[in-house]
Amino acid sequence: MALPFFSRGSSTIADRCKSDPATKLRLRYAPYYHAMQAQQGTTVRLKDRDMIMLASNDYLGLSFHPKVLEAGQAALRKWGSSPTGARVSNGSRAYHIELEEKLAAFLGKEACHIHAAGYLSCLSGVAAFAQKGDFILADKNIHSCLWDGIRLSSAEVERFSHNNAADLRAVATSLPANAAKMMVVEGVYSMEGHIADLPGLLAASGEHQCFNVLDDAHGFGVLGRQGRGTADHFGLTDKVDIICGSMSKALASTGGFVAGDRDYIEYLRTHGKHTIFSASLSASQAAVASAALDILQTEPEHLERLWTNTRRYTAMLQSLGLDTWGSETPAVPVVIGDKARAYAFWQALLEKGVFTVMSIAPAVPPGKDLIRTAISAGHTDAQLDQIAEAMAYAKKRA
Ligand SMILES: Cc1ncc(COP(=O)(O)O)c(C=O)c1O
């Protein structure tokens, strides 16, 4: 089965949208945008059937934690539903400032700015700092939001091989010595589950005075002391200039953050269009993130359980002979390698009551079509048993 992804040939935008084969195929097979009827922790209801959610990024399982729910409800009553505008014009709220101070302290940075989406934070964390004439050295597997940030910055971009410090060094050496440079990497790659080789990458970028931007959307809350993230995991927080990330994963909220030296954050507030001209985070979502951040520091059992579940799950997949692309984290791909088989595998899991997401090229490199799964501290032993049975069944079926 060929799955064309983009259609570009039509003469009008309306025709292009109406005749797009990728959209037609998606609507026919519907592997995306499912309408969940209900959710309780790691269980979702789809077409009147309870299923195990194995595709969300609620790594610490905090999205139904009583303290998190209570904090969100109280903030909604106190501050209303939305700040209904950008902070530059209608002001910051106490809850923005408190959360920013808390996040900065937790991450070991002087200052922080929060946005209403992780996508905005990571895009701004690149676009606000680089400019025309600069060179950006980017790992070729970075997230779409970082590519968008690179494009918007108007800087020149040079890709280096995924997680390869030697290639980064070679590429950096080929660039004009006096040009300003930025390195853009992720802490944990969300599709592959790989941890960045930060020691090697930072050593190479340091030789070329790069400004280092780390998107730690999937490392935050997962790696490092109490979940301080990938830079903390390696003891290299001081060497990373900007740590950006999302609050929609381990923090069980929405929104994102950019953290760094105070001068950098004030520069972002002066030059970052997405920071200046977009409405700020709502009180309920800020309160949820803030409560989750407290839980990270006071209830270590969630992080411990996450890693216990991750080890068990990864070992189970490997014992079945499934390819996990060398994932070292709770973001675990099951690489199938072919679109049609990936679709059959995904469907077989669904049949067995396990909800996952299929990720196909160009979202992943050609030949790496995969089922993206993510483990949560919230998965019970019984759920992990059911997932193991479903994986064995899907392997036979696909
Ligand atoms: C690496 C990475 N950065 C940024 C984002 C954007 O975060 P959000 O979904 O909270 O907007 C994502 C989302 O999945 C991500 O995987």
Provide the token pair at 77: 């009553």
In sequence order, the β-bridge partners of residue 357 are 372
The residue contributing the CA closest to ligand 1 atom 10 is: 118
Kind and range of the H or E element at 64? none
Question: In the predicted model, what is the mean pLDDT of the chain?
Answer: 95
Residues 40 and 119 in one domain: no
Q: Are residues 182 and 329 in the same domain?
A: no
Residue 4 is predicted with a pLDDT of 44
Give the model's confidence band at 361: pLDDT under 50 very low, under 70 low, under 90 confident, else very high: confident
Position 7 in a domain: no
130 plus 212 within the same structural domain: yes
Domain end: 253, 282, 298, which one?
298
Residue 203 falls within a domain, yes or no?
yes
Tell the residue nearest (CA) to atom 8 of ligand 1. 118
Q: Round to the nearest angstrom and report the end-to-end CA distance of the chain.
A: 13
CA of 247 to the centre of ligand 1 (A): 9
Q: Whose CA is nearest to atom 2 of ligand 1?
A: 217
DSSP string computed for 146-198: HHHHHHHHT-EEEEE-TT-HHHHHHHHHTS-TTS-EEEEEESB-TTT-PBP-H
**Which residue bears the tokens 């409800």?**
73
Query: Of the candidates 298, 319, 342, which is a domain's last residue?
Result: 298
Q: What is the pLDDT of residues 10-38, one digit of tens each?
A: 689 999 999 998 888 888 877 889 999 99
Residues 251 and 392 in one domain: no
> Would you say residue 10 lies in a domain?
no
| Measured distance CA(317)–CA(331) in Å, rounded | 13
CA distances from 107 to 194, 222, 374 (A): 21, 13, 24
pLDDT above 90: percentage of residues in the chain: 92
CA of 295 to the centre of ligand 1 (A): 22
pLDDT at 5 over 60: no
Residues 262/270, Cβ–Cβ less than 8 Å: no
Domain termination residue (choose one: 269, 298, 327)? 298
How many structural domains comprise the chain?
Answer: 2
Cα–ligand 1 centroid distance for 12 (angstroms):
31
Residues 45, 130 within the same domain: no
Question: Rounded to whole angstroms, how far apart are CA atoms 249 and 252?
Answer: 5
Q: Are residues 307 and 281 in the same domain?
A: no
* 210 and 255 belong to one structural domain: yes
pLDDT digits (tens, 9 = 90+) for 41-78: 999 999 999 999 999 999 999 999 999 999 999 999 99
Atom 3 of ligand 1: nearest residue by CA position: 217
392 three-state secondary structure: helix
Judgement on whether residues 42 and 131 belong to the same structural domain of the protein? no
* Torsions phi, psi for 372 (to 5 deg): -90, 125
> Which strands form 211-215's sheet, in the order they lie side by side?
111-115, 256-260, 242-246, 211-215, 181-186, 135-139, 156-160
Short-list 368, 369, 363, CA closest to 142: 363
Instruction: Give the Å distance between the CA of 119 and the centre of ligand 1.
Output: 5
CATH number at residue 221: 3.40.640.10
pLDDT value of position 370 = 96
Mutate to test the pocket of ligand 1, among 190, 195, 244 (most ligand atoms within 8 A of CB): 190
Question: Does one domain contain both 252 and 329?
Answer: no
Q: What integer is the mean pLDDT of 281-306?
A: 98
The ligand 1 site (C-beta within 6 Å) comprises 117-119, 122, 143, 145, 186, 190, 215, 217-218, 246, 248, 256
pTM of the model: 0.96
